[in-house]
Amino acid sequence: MSDAEQFILTLDGVGKEYGRGRHRVTAVQPLDLRVDADVELGVIGESGSGKSTLARMMVGLETPSSGTIACNGRPLREWLSTRASRLEYRRRVQYVAQDTTSFDPRQTFYDAVSVPLRLLRGVRSEREIRSRLDAIADELSLDPALYSRQPHQVSGGQRQRFALARSLVVEPQLLICDEVVSALDVSVQGAVLNLIKRHVAEHHMGLIFVAHGLPAVTFISSNLMVMRQGEVVERGTVADVVTRPRHPYTQELLAAYASSSQKEGGRQ
Amino acid sequence: MRTTIRDRYRANRWWILRLVRLPVDIFVFATIAFFLIRLLPGDPVAVAVASRNEAVTPETVAAVRAQMGLDGSIWEQLLHFWGGLFRGNLGDSLQTSIPVVTEVFSRLPSTLELILLGLLGAFVACLVLGFVYVRFANPLLRRAVRFYSSFATTVPVFVVAIFLIVLFYVVLAWLPAPLGRAAGTLPVVTGFPILDEIITGSWSMLGETLVAYIMPVAAMVITYTPNLLTQLIGGLDRELEQTTTRFQVAAGAPRRWIFVSLFRRSLPSVIVVFGLFFGSLIGGAVTIESLFGFGGIGQLGVRSVQTVDFPALQGFLIIVVTVCLIAMLVVDLINMALDPRRRPGIEEASR
Amino acid sequence: MSAQFPDQTAALAVAPRRTGGTIRAVFAFVPLALVVAIAVLAPVIAPYDPVTSVAASRLPPSPEHWFGTDAVGMDILSRTIYGARIAVQFGVIVAVLSTIGGVLIGTFIGLSESSSGVLGLLGRGLNQISSYLLAIPDVILGIVVVGIMGSSDFALTVAITLCLVQAPVKLTRVEVLRVRRESYLESAKLAGESSFRAALVHVMPNSIGPAMRNMPLIFGNCVIILASLGFIGIGVKAPTPEWGYMISSGLSSLVLGRWWPAVFPAAAVLLSVLAIAYSSRAIPRMWPLLAVRVKRWNPIGRKARA
């Protein structure tokens, strides 16, 4: 399994249900999806639409209750079954969540971000780690001096960028971002989005960008998938979906954004 | 909802389920105790043989091992133990050759009597102090009650008793020496000394016993009231803030009503503690019995330690914990009767 | 007793900043520190040897023997002071052992109980066993353990630790159940950490707080149980100056009106358990205050959590 091999992630009838009997809740209705190495997919939906569950299933944080996820023809279950192949999968696919507590409050950022370098990329020398961390910090406009701090000692935007750094140092083939900018101030949002977009383009990574805000998703990705109550209601290129929405929910969504941006414009 | 029997079962399921759990609890605990005392480092056989001052031969060691029921593989022992457990037989004491169950149960009532008197006294004292706490707005008084309640679970009961003895026996000479319940042999009917004395009409002995009980029970009341009081005060403080109370005051309900209602709502939190600290009461009673020269389970325990009486120790542990489990059961049932929210299965029904 | 060591307070008072909060924080430690100081300094401050006869027996309190002498002529003041040493020795050993053991077991239970398979079964089993052991009265468990292992310091330590290890087990388990929902464990997983490594590096350090704060309480309970067991006659061996044993051997004198052999050790138990109880309640209250202070010294400026 060399890195040169073409990377493909396929979802075949993947769905997720929680609970049993009367209390059963469907989080994601069975869906098919093919993710290529150069994907730029935005997933949009309100909270509870199953978009996060979908993203988490792709990295094995949740187990699908139906269907199979496969990477290069090999089921995810198998990838995660042995230590070596699990690390290999983590090298290929990385996931960044909305940061609230994604860092151990007792660790410094240096400790946290160097872990994937050591474990996934096998970098041993302290100098090599330092230089890679400095490089990624530079790319994400982070002050390398912040590496010596603990999570509560930096701002939310800085913490979110460290969370990105932790995944990006691995140099994955696919990056899955789950609501990474939702908790940030609007001013910081733009900066972080730009950083992600640039990095993904420069390193030829695939990107799946999950969010509930339309502007962020349309800015960063070329394809769009709209989810509602666990169901995919619309897919297509951003241009197609925005100009010719077919599903009433998508039309509603677009209309809401149009009116809110008008209001904002009016106020200014 | 077809048959009335099923409905009746549903309505009563909470206490039936809780009651059924008791034998299961006892069985599981007895099994845990069985393994616990066999997994402890150290060999009771060696300790027993060493304490006998006899020549140690392999035969004597084997004989002692067989006496203790420690011969054979652990699984054989377990099967044998389970068999005995179901027949209510936990082996014979090595010292007296009397069945351990008989020995423990002949002593348990007098210990329980002491505990119940102490518990009752503490409960009354707690109610009185709780009333003082609510009734009088004097901040000094309230702080004093609070301060007293902060002594919960700190002072060992026998230390309190020592000071009582010094004060009332040595200095004031008001009360008799701590040398047992009453002169002569107590009549045995139920095993509860006071009850037996009443049944047999031994009035002079009853008087002596009651006098002898003053200091130990007082010590228990002084020591254990704070445990209950912290809960009661916490409950009272919480309930005073409740809108129900404010509404009653605003509506001009009689004072007496408000107090009764207030206490009724605060008591469940006190009763919960009963179950939790029944165990420490048994522990405390053991030291009190030793101090005042009362015969009871503590005496049996200490004697079993001194003679390395393995079956007696094992049976002692199981029976004492069984009593604790029963006490917890009673407390649980009272609580569930008072407060339906505590009944098991209530969450499923309300969904 | 306490009149002889005012220095301890002074030493502790040289703390961070002399504000009201700090002084209150320091005072929380004073009673506990005093008990420990008496234990540590026992050889210096005890006037006589605690285990040899130094005068006639049963002397009432006098300027030579402040607390009098016991039935074999040993100095009760010296024995009472050395009693603190015995109590503190057991208290420290038991508190450390049961906290370490409790954290390890509690972490294991918290991490394994909801998983399926053998580990989950083991975790749930341990949790149940711990609940049942919690139902055994301390003194009763002490009697049985000492009875089976034979009377020795080791047996006593095992007995008291078995009684007191359950609290840190439960405290740590609850904390682990909270921590394991934290998303930094998922991040650790994605960074390639094994679950064992994550348990060691992330779960345990973030879950030990309650168990650590519970340590002084264990210390106090240990003193109480040790004295109770000594009092009923199954504690440490005879001439060792242990408070419970001293009280029980002074009982026969007490009945005859000689109060000093029993009362002074009883007062020592009373004062020390009250002191430890005060500290064990005050120290956790001071915890946030101390933490804030430590952070304020930290040269790196803090920013509020987003």
What are A160's strand-pairing partners? none
Mind listing the pLDDT tens digit for each residue in B122-133?
Answer: 999 988 888 888
CA of C297 to nearest chain A CA: how many angstroms apart? 14
Cα(A152)–Cα(C305) distance, integer angstroms = 6
Q: What is the ipTM of this complex?
A: 0.84
Listed range (A56-60, B140-144, C46-50) with the worst mean pLDDT: C46-50
In a domain, C63, yes or no: no
Number of domains in chain C: 1
The range of the structural domain enclosing residue C199 comes to: 85-246+255-305
Closest partner residue to C140 (CB to CB) among B282, B290, B291 is: B282
Q: Which of B34, B51, B287 to mutate: most C Cβ within 10 Å?
A: B287
One-letter identity of residue A156 = G
Percentage of chain B exceeding pLDDT 90: 1
Residue of A nearest to C193 (CA): A119
Distance in angstroms (rounded) separating the CA atoms of residues C32 and C220? 10
pLDDT band of C101, cuts 50, 70, 90 = very high
Within 10 Å of residue C191's Cβ, how many Cβ atoms? 24
Q: What is the mean pLDDT of chain C?
A: 80
Confidence of residue C97 (pLDDT cuts 50, 70, 90): very high
Which domains can be identified in chain B, with CATH numbers? 18-87 (no CATH), 104-350 (1.10.3720.10)
Cα separation, B248 vs A158, whole angstroms: 55
Q: Residue A2 above 70 pLDDT?
A: no
Q: In the structure, what pLDDT confidence band is assigned to residue B53 with cuts at 50, 70 and 90? A: low
Asked if residue C195 lies in contact with residue C128, where contact means CB atoms within 8 angstroms, the answer is: no
- Which parts of B134-202 are beta strand (E)? none
Average model confidence (pLDDT) across chain A = 83
Establish if C28 belongs to a structural domain. Answer: no
Q: Which residues of C touch A83 (CB under 8 A)?
A: 194
Q: Closest to B301 (Cβ–Cβ): which among C128, C143, C158?
A: C143
Has residue C23 got a pLDDT over 80?
no
* Residues B7-32 pLDDT 10s: 777 777 777 888 888 888 888 888 88
Q: Are C221 and C138 in contact (CB under 8 A)?
A: yes
Tens digit of each residue's pLDDT (9 = 90 or more) over A42-88: 888 888 788 888 888 988 888 888 888 888 888 888 888 888 888 88
All residues of chain A having their beta carbon less than 8 Å from the beta carbon of residue C204 are: none
Confidence band, pLDDT 50/70/90 cuts, at residue C16: very low
CATH H-level, domain A8-104+173-267: superfamily: P-loop containing nucleotide triphosphate hydrolases (3.40.50.300)
Tens of pLDDT, residue by residue over C122-142, are: 988 898 888 888 888 888 888
Q: What is the pTM of this model?
A: 0.81
pLDDT above 70 for A148:
yes
Query: Residue A188: its pLDDT value, please?
Result: 77
- Residues A155, C194: C-beta atoms closer than 8 Å: no
Q: Residue C131: closest CA among chain B residues belongs to which residue? A: B29
- Give the model's pLDDT for residue C96: 93
Residue pLDDT, tens place only, B309-333: 888 888 888 888 888 888 888 888 8
pLDDT of residue C102: 93
CA proximity to A7, closest of A187, A214, A207: A207
Q: How many cross-chain Cβ pairs, B to C, lie less than 8 Å apart?
A: 156
Q: Which residue has the higher pLDDT, C303 or C41?
A: C41
C23 occurs within a structural domain: no
Q: Which of C191, C202, C300 sits opposite A153 (nearest CB)?
A: C300
* Contacts A174 to C, Cβ<8 Å: none
Q: What is the 3-state secondary structure (H, E, C) of chain A?
A: CCCCCCCEEEEEEEEEEECCHHHCEEEEEEEEEEEECCCEEEEECCCCCCHHHHHHHHCCCCCCCEEEEEECCEEHHHHCCCHHHHHHHHHHEEEEECCCCCCCCCCCHHHHHHHHHHHHHCCCCHHHHHHHHHHHHHHCCCCHHHHHCCHHHCCHHHHHHHHHHHHHCCCCCEEEEECCCCCCCHHHHHHHHHHHHHHHHHCCCEEEEEECCHHHHHHHCCEEEEEECCEEEEEEEHHHHHHCCCCHHHHHHHHHHHHHHHHHHHHC
CB proximity list for B204: less than 8 A, separation 6 or greater: none
Return the residue of C nearest to B310 by Cα. Answer: C148
**Rounded alpha-carbon distances, angstroms, from residue A267 to A189, A263, A264, B250, B258:** 21, 6, 5, 51, 58
Q: What is the pLDDT of residue C20?
A: 58
Give C106's pLDDT tier (boundaries 50, 70, 90): very high
Residue C161: pLDDT band with limits 50, 70, 90: very high
In this structure, of A101-105, A120-124, A163-167, B134-138, the range with the lowest mean pLDDT score is B134-138
Neighbour tally for B222: CB within 10 Å: 21
Which CATH number goes with the domain that contains C274? 1.10.3720.10
Residue C282 has pLDDT above 90, yes or no: no
